[in-house]
C-alpha cells in the first residue's frame, strides 16, 4: 500500500489548506513540492528509465529485500533515474526552498552547482539510496546547505517511484518485515496507526504500512515494558505519543477506531504536528533532530 497518486494528494492538500488555517505553511510547502512531483508522476516511468511499478520488477526487488533483510531502496540502481528529469526537478525544488527563506545562502550556492553541472545529481541520488551519510555531508559542507535540506531535495526526485513500488509490494513483505525501518525506503517512521489492536508503522514518504511490535521502541529497540510509556493528548482521544524513557525518542500514534474524520495517507505527519509540540514540551526527541 503506497501513497495515493500525486494528483490525488494535490486535491487533498488543496482542500486541507482551506480547512486547516493553522497548518497553511507546512501544507503550502507540501503542495508546491507535489506540483513539481506531478511532472514526474505524469511520466509512464515515474522519472526513471524503467517502468519501476512493473509487477515483475517489484517482485524481484521484494525477493532481494526479504533475502537480505534490507529495504528495497538498497537494490535500486541510481542510474535508473532519468538524468534530465532529475536535474530539472532538483532545481525546481531548491528554488521553492529558497523562496521559503530556508538556509537561503547555502541553497543559492547549491542551485548554482546544479545549474553549472558542477554537482552530479545522480551521484547525490546514489548517496541517498545507499544511505551514504559521509558523501551527503561532504556536499552539504561544500555548498553550505543543511544535510537535511539536501536529502529533502533528493527525496523529492525519488519519492514518486518509491510510492509506486510500495503500492505494488506484496502484503507478505509488509506483514513479515518486523523491523522498525521502512521495508521500501528504509526510513524510520514518525507515525503509527492502530488497527484492530495491531500497530502498523506508517512511512509517510513512500506510503508503506507494516506490522510492528506494540512493546518495542522503533528507535533503539528497547523492549522493557517498564521503560516504554505513552502520553495521552488532551481532548484528542484518537491520538497518543508512545515514547521510550531510555532513548527519549517517540512515535505519534493514530487510533483508527477513535478517529472522527479519516487522516489521508501521506499526510499523517503534517496533520499531527501538534503532537510534536506536546512531545517537545515533555523533553522528548524527534528522530529527525538527530538525522543527517
Which residues, in sequence order, are CB contacts of 182 under 8 Å at separation 6+? 71, 188, 189, 201, 203, 205, 206, 208, 210
Rounded mean pLDDT of 90-111?
Answer: 91
pLDDT of residue 290: 38
Q: What is the pLDDT of residue 271?
A: 95
- Average pLDDT over the chain, rounded to an integer: 91
User: In the chain, pLDDT over 70 holds for what percent of residues?
Assistant: 98
pLDDT given at position 161: 93
Average pLDDT over residues 205-226: 93
CA distances from 88 to 48, 95, 255 (A): 13, 11, 40
pLDDT of residue 289: 45
Please check the confidence at residue 292 and state whether its pLDDT lies above 70.
Answer: no
Does residue 98 have a pLDDT over 50? yes
Q: Which domains does the chain have, with CATH numbers?
A: 6-168 (no CATH), 172-290 (3.90.1670.10)
Model confidence over 165-204: pLDDT tens digits? 999 998 877 788 889 999 999 999 999 999 988 999 999 9
pLDDT confidence of residue 143: 86
Residue range 231-282, pLDDT digits in tens: 998 889 999 999 999 999 999 999 999 999 899 999 999 999 999 999 999 9
Amino acid at each position: 500500500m503506497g501513497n495515493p497518486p500525486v494528483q490525488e494528494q494535490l486535491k487533498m492538500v488543496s482542500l486541507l489548506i482551506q480547512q486547516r488555517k493553522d497548518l497553511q505553511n507546512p501544507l503550502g510547502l507540501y503542495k508546491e513540492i507535489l506540483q513539481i512531483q506531478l511532472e514526474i508522476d505524469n511520466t509512464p516511468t515515474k522519472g526513471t528509465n524503467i517502468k519501476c511499478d512493473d509487477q515483475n520488477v517489484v517482485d524481484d526487488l521484494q525477493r532481494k529485500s526479504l533475502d537480505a533483510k534490507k529495504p528495497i531502496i538498497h537494490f535500486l540502481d541510481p542510474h535508473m533515474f532519468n538524468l534530465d528529469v532529475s536535474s530539472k526537478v532538483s532545481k525546481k525544488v531548491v528554488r521553492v526552498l529558497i523562496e521559503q527563506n530556508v538556509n537561503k545562502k547555502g541553497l543559492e550556492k547549491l542551485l548554482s552547482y546544479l545549474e553549472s553541472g558542477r554537482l552530479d545529481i545522480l551521484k547525490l541520488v546514489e548517496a541517498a539510496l545507499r544511505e551514504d551519510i559521509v558523501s551527503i555531508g561532504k556536499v552539504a559542507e561544500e555548498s553550505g546547505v543543511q544535510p537535511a535540506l539536501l536529502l529533502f531535495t533528493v527525496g523529492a526526485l525519488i519519492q514518486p517511484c518509491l510510492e509506486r513500488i510500495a503500492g505494488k509490494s506484496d502484503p507478505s513483505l509488509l506483514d513479515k518485515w518486523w523491523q522498525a525501518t521502512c521495508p521500501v525506503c528504509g526510513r524510520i517512521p514518525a507515525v503509527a496507526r492502530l488497527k484492530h489492536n495491531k500497530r502498523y508503522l506508517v512511512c509517510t514518504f513512500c506510503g508503506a504500512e507494516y506490522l510492528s511490535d506494540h512493546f518495542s521502541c522503533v528507535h533503539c529497540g528497547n523492549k522493557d515494558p517498564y521503560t516504554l510509556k505513552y502520553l495521552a493528548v488532551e481532548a484528542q482521544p484518537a491520538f497518543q505519543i508512545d515514547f521510550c524513557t531510555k532513548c527519549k525518542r517517540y512515535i505519534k500514534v493514530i487510533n483508527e477506531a477513535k478517529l472522527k474524520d479519516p487522516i489521508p495517507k501521506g499526510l499523517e505527519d503534517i496533520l499531527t504536528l501538534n503532537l510534536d509540540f506536546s512531545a517537545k514540551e515533555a523533553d522528548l526527541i524527534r528522530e529527525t533532530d538527530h538525522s543527517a
